[in-house]
Structure 1
Amino acid sequence: VPGPLQVEYYTQRAGAGLILTEGTMIEKVGSEWSNAPGIYTDEQVNGWRKVLDSVHARQSFMYLQLWHVGRVAHPLLQDGRPSVGPSAIGANGGKFRQLPGAPGYVVPEAIEDPTSYIELYRKAAERAKEAGFDGVELHSANGYLPHQFIDNTSNKRTDEWGGSVENRCRFPLRVIDELCSVYGNNRVGIKLSPGGGYNDMGMSEKDTSETFGYLIQELSTRRIAYIQLARYWDLGDPLKRGIEVDVFQWKKLINSEHTALLVNTNYNAEEGEKTLQAGLADAIVFGRFYIANPDLAERLI
């Protein structure tokens, strides 16, 4: 539940034009971390409302990042309930260092009905709107649940939710449609990490290009507010499962009149400015620099 610390933290960073929150759980199950924030109870909504009131008083905007980690959760972090994924395929390489013995990933239960999780995202968006968020972002990157449906190494389903590119992209697109039904297209964004790597994700270069080309084109037709593309991060890929990909290869698929292209991962001020000046992206997203520097926007102006 967000409290006074979160009010102070986000208010300190309200110099940003748009704040994207930390990953926020859509149900009690589905976190990699202890004490992660949520948006599934009235108490959480009320806590976030206080954060929003303070941020809005400083004339900033704030989107809630909707988060479910799927197969990379651990039962010990969710009252013994199993982790879930599109298929019963566990990820490799991770350790839950906050748990006794630092256990690794477990084999998840295959989700029987993906529409039940799509409904969870919709309900979370409704609660976000009740709290006062200006919009929502679907966290569909970093090997979390929507990404697990997209990637053909974690999704081996043989029904309408797996197999072809269209079927594997069905889950995130259906979630986006539900979020748009709550907020309107121009208040919904999505985060993607095409190069994979983190949390044991990684398709071939050919499959990556085809899959994300289709997905980004479909997202553009929905005229959502933005598509955020994360560059490949080698330090987050100890198993070297991911690949270096040029995230700008998909820019031509995005209708810039309606949908902005945001990029992130290891940008500094100089590279970010060059990227914007070259017309490659519409905005640069900073994470770690903003954690360390609450006045980052003022420093860069």
Structure 2
Amino acid sequence: MSALTRNRSPATVPNDLMLKYYVQRAEGGAGLIVSEGILVTRQGTEWQHAPGIWSRAQIDGWKKITDAVHEAGSKMYAQLWHLGRIAHPDTPEQIAAGVPVYAPSAISARGGKFRFLPGQPGYVAPTEIADPTLIIAQYKQAAINAKEAGFDGVELHGAAGYLVHQFLDSTSNHRTDKWGGSPENRTRFALETLKALIDVCGPDVALKISPAGGYNDVGMPLQDTIDTFGHLLREVENLGLSYVTFMRYLAFTDVEFDGKLRATQHDVVETFSPFLTHTPIFVNGDVTPAEAEALVGSGKAAGVFMGRNWISHPDLARRIKAGKALDNAFDFAGFYGTEGVDPAVGYVDYPEATY
């Protein structure tokens, strides 16, 4: 089960409703659950109820969830997440943090909306991170906290135009120091962060990437994409990660600016699989059960992550194994919850199949 932001964590602290959600899916056959993105430090996200892992209350809340998931027979990784320039300075959490919105370079992302802020403002120009090692230290502390919270490992969110991806991408990283410029320099932040996580969790560290870009205003020309992510993966191959997830191109996450789609459409799996010969590859992005069987059976992937199907089918793995239909209607309206509506709606109220 891939990471899925669900916006059900008021005050950033995991709660009993979230526990029920994850346990439903552990009991539904999810062998490995990757948590929703967990903020490594207080930030102003457009999902105002995203969880964190910097406080004692958060660690304790996650510990209840991981204990219950383990009891149900599943493993659970924490996806560690920093928004970078996709935060907003006017959100309550960013104001409470008392720091600016940080990014590799002072370049704002186009687009964006914060449904709970007046006027639905877009993204703003961030403050350039003066010393990236200070952010890496936040990731390392988050891994320490995740380990204390009972997670079996951590996944670095290097996809979807968030901070790690912003360092990788030449359109969002215009730095002239050792953290920007060449592919070797733009991949430095991701690699140094992974090494810090390995210091804490050993081999139980993973990485998720989305080389096609698109979402959150990232994406490079194809050759730059291959050069950058190719160098990243060549170095990752030597780190002994538990897996790397390739996020395939998804049309529904692509965006259009000035009459042109933002993503660099290509076959991510075919392009980047050759760079990893020892590190397990997982594939994510609208993978069907039939595709999953083909990917694993052909040796192109060690496994797959499924996302949205787990939202509307809490017993997804059991259904697939039993040959049951995936017939629960998916409701986007309940994806992030709706103000004034019971947060259980569209979250823990999807029915299981009859067995």
TM-score, L = length of structure 2: 0.82
Which residue identity is paired with 1:250? F
The match for 1:293 is: 313
1:62 aligns with 2:76: yes
Which residue identity is paired with 2:47? W
The match for 2:289 is: 269
Matches within 5 A, 1:245-264: 245-248=266-269, 249-256=271-278, 259-264=279-284
Matches within 5 A, 1:1-301: 1-14=13-26, 15-29=29-43, 31-77=45-91, 78-80=93-95, 81-184=99-202, 186-239=203-256, 240-248=261-269, 249-256=271-278, 259-301=279-321
Write the deviation string for residues 58-115 of structure 1: whole angstroms up to 9, x where unpaired.
1210000000110011112234342111000000022222221110011101011100
Write the deviation string for residues 156-211 of structure 1: whole angstroms up to 9, x where unpaired.
00000000111000001000000000000x20000000000000001000100111
Moved more, 213-222 or 70-79: 70-79
Computed over aligned residues only, the root mean square deviation of the Cα atoms, in angstroms, reads 1.1
Moved more, 98-107 or 240-249: 240-249
Q: Tell whether the 8 Å contact from 2:46 to 2:115 is kept in structure 1 after alignment.
A: no
Larger Rg: 2
CA separation in 2, counterparts of 1:287 and 1:299?
Answer: 15
Q: How big is the shift at 1:30?
A: 5.3
Q: Secondary structure at the match of 1:21?
A: strand
Q: Secondary structure at the match of 2:165?
A: helix
Q: Secondary structure at the match of 2:196?
A: helix
The percent identity for this pair of structures is: 49
Moved more, 39-48 or 261-270: 261-270
CA separation in 1, counterparts of 2:144 and 2:42?
Answer: 17
CA separation in 1, counterparts of 2:176 and 2:140?
Answer: 25
CA 1:30–1:169: 2 relative to 1, 3 Å: farther
Q: Tell whether the 8 Å contact from 2:161 to 2:215 is kept in structure 1 after alignment.
A: yes
Provide runs of 4+ in structure 1 moved above 4 Å: none
Write the deviation string for residues 18-62 of structure 1: whole angstroms up to 9, x where unpaired.
000000000112533101000000000000000011111112100
Write the deviation string for residues 194-236 of structure 1: whole angstroms up to 9, x where unpaired.
0000000010001001111110111111111000010112221
Write the deviation string for residues 228-254 of structure 1: whole angstroms up to 9, x where unpaired.
010112221222111112222221221
CA separation in 1, counterparts of 2:302 and 2:152?
Answer: 19
CA separation in 2, counterparts of 1:3 and 1:208?
Answer: 39
- Say how many residue pairs are matched: 298
CA separation in 2, counterparts of 1:102 and 1:30?
Answer: 14
Which residue identity is paired with 2:128? A
TM-score, L = length of structure 1: 0.97
Which residue identity is paired with 1:8? K
